[in-house]
Amino acid sequence: MSAKSSPPSSPSAEGSLAEGSLADALRRRLADRTPIAEAADGARPAAVLVPLYHDGAQWQVVLNVRSMRLAEHKGEIAFPGGSMEESDADAQACALREAWEEMGIRPEAVDVLGPLDTVLTRTGFIVWPTVGAIPYPYGFKPDLREVAEVVHAPLRAFLDSASLRCERRTERDGAAADRVAYAWAGRLVYGATAVILTQLLDAVRGAEQADAA
């Protein structure tokens, strides 16, 4: 599968998700909360960037399809990110570095809006997500060793309850559990990425409600 960096065309603008207003509202929303960190003995720390941009008509969320060359989570839809390194000052620095290395998103181009709660993956990582807005258009430069495709998904598509799915997963202790997943344009977002996406959607809904109050 070849890497793609051109964003899709978009329908008309939608309500309170206007350019600028969502970013400001999300920044306030995320600043008013303390991220929850799961207890995870022995888990390896990692971080991801949750990139958003407004294309002039609506908000898009940027994900990627992980390369089949990778050892873990190959072929899955994910946010750009990876393991923390000693040189990373914190989780935010890790998320920005990984987004630069994987997708060519320059750290200085990211308007950091705030953190989400950590997520524990079935492969033993504890992931710290950071939400950030990037300019549009943006010239992504994916590292083909890690990224098979850049995915641009309308935020409204995931806010629509029709995208919701239930996925049965096997936990690390062998127990079965039902987890949220999202279907869009023939793709399925599941696992830790779906949990992070759910947090983002909850924050967006909260920001919209606060903005309308």
Q: What pLDDT score does 69 carry? A: 81
**What's the whole-model pTM score?**
0.88
Q: What pLDDT score does 73 carry? A: 61
Q: What pLDDT score does 171 carry? A: 66
Residue 181: what are its φ and ψ, rounded to 5°?
-145, 165
Q: What pLDDT score does 33 carry? A: 83
Q: What pLDDT score does 53 carry? A: 97
- Bridge-partner residues for 167, per DSSP? 179
Are 111 and 24 a contacting pair, CB within 8 Å?
no
Q: What pLDDT score does 154 carry? A: 96
pLDDT tens over the chain, length 213 residues: 345 444 444 333 344 456 668 999 999 999 988 888 877 788 999 999 999 999 999 999 999 999 978 666 668 999 999 999 999 999 999 999 999 999 999 999 999 999 999 999 888 899 999 999 999 999 999 999 999 999 999 999 999 999 999 887 766 667 777 889 999 999 999 999 999 999 999 999 998 888 776
- What CATH number has the domain spanning 21-160? 3.90.79.10
CA distance 163 to 157: 7
C-alpha angle with apex 136: 132 to 138, nearest 5 degrees?
90
Are 119 and 95 a contacting pair, CB within 8 Å?
no
